[in-house]
Chains A and B, each alone.
Chain A
Amino acid sequence: QSVLTQPPSVSGAPGQKVTISCTGSNSNIGAGYDVHWYQQLPGTAPKLLIYGNKYRPSGVPDRFSASKSGTSASLAITGLQAEDEADYYCQSYAGSLSVFGGGTKVTVL
């Protein structure tokens, strides 16, 4: 059971928008810790996709966006593309302890 809750899967047709939620509590996200998002393509290591709730590292397309509010955060992928099919994880902190969401599989129909 992960500390942060994500939907197991979401899907969308190419070009559509999908949104992934990440729900925490007042001991992690709600305590003011930032949320980060990772993309894990099949058979590869996770890659940092979004940091500090909404910032994209260099090289990440702007069709990926994210936000945080209260004890939750969300990741949006607009203009969904076939190469976006992957697992996505949110991560935050509870004090010095790092916590991950259970992951969401994005399927491009």
Chain B
Amino acid sequence: QLQLQESGPGLVKPSETLSLTCVVSGDSISNSDYSWGWIRQPPGRGLEWIGTIYHSGTASYNPSLKSRVTISADTSKNEFSLRLTSVTAADTGVYYCARRGRFLLVVGVPFDLWGQGSLLTVSS
């Protein structure tokens, strides 16, 4: 059964760079049926899509974060990563990795499997 597990530092200082990794088990991230995304949730607030990396290795990003975000994949480790530069307190929240599955006849594929989330706090 496919599982996703986020890992990260937990605490990052303002202006530093955040790096989070999502380890995928139970399937290969190279599977062309899937793409992989990052979504975050500030404390007490709603979900915000950060970006998605596709089988081709290309990625799309939320325009509000695009200048600071990079999503990459390491197929040898079966994991994908998020890098967010120049973090501020506004970047505090729970970060989720998720799979975009294969759904026939659906225009715009949903995130069908999610990791449990990784809490990130930005503080000095």
A-side residues, CB < 8 A to B, are 2, 32-34, 36, 38, 44-48, 51-52, 57, 87, 89, 91-93, 96-103
Contact = CB atoms under 8 A, between A and B. Distances in A.
Where chain B touches its partner, the secondary structure class is loop
Where chain A touches its partner, the secondary structure class is strand
A45 B60 contact: no
A50 B117 CA distance: 21
Interface residues of B, number: 25
Nearest to A51: B110
B46 A98 contact: no
B49 A99 contact: yes
B110 A48 contact: yes
A51 B47 contact: no
A74 B4 CA distance: 29
Contacts of A33: 107-108
B49 A100 contact: yes
Given A98-B49, A100-B49, A45 B114 contact: yes
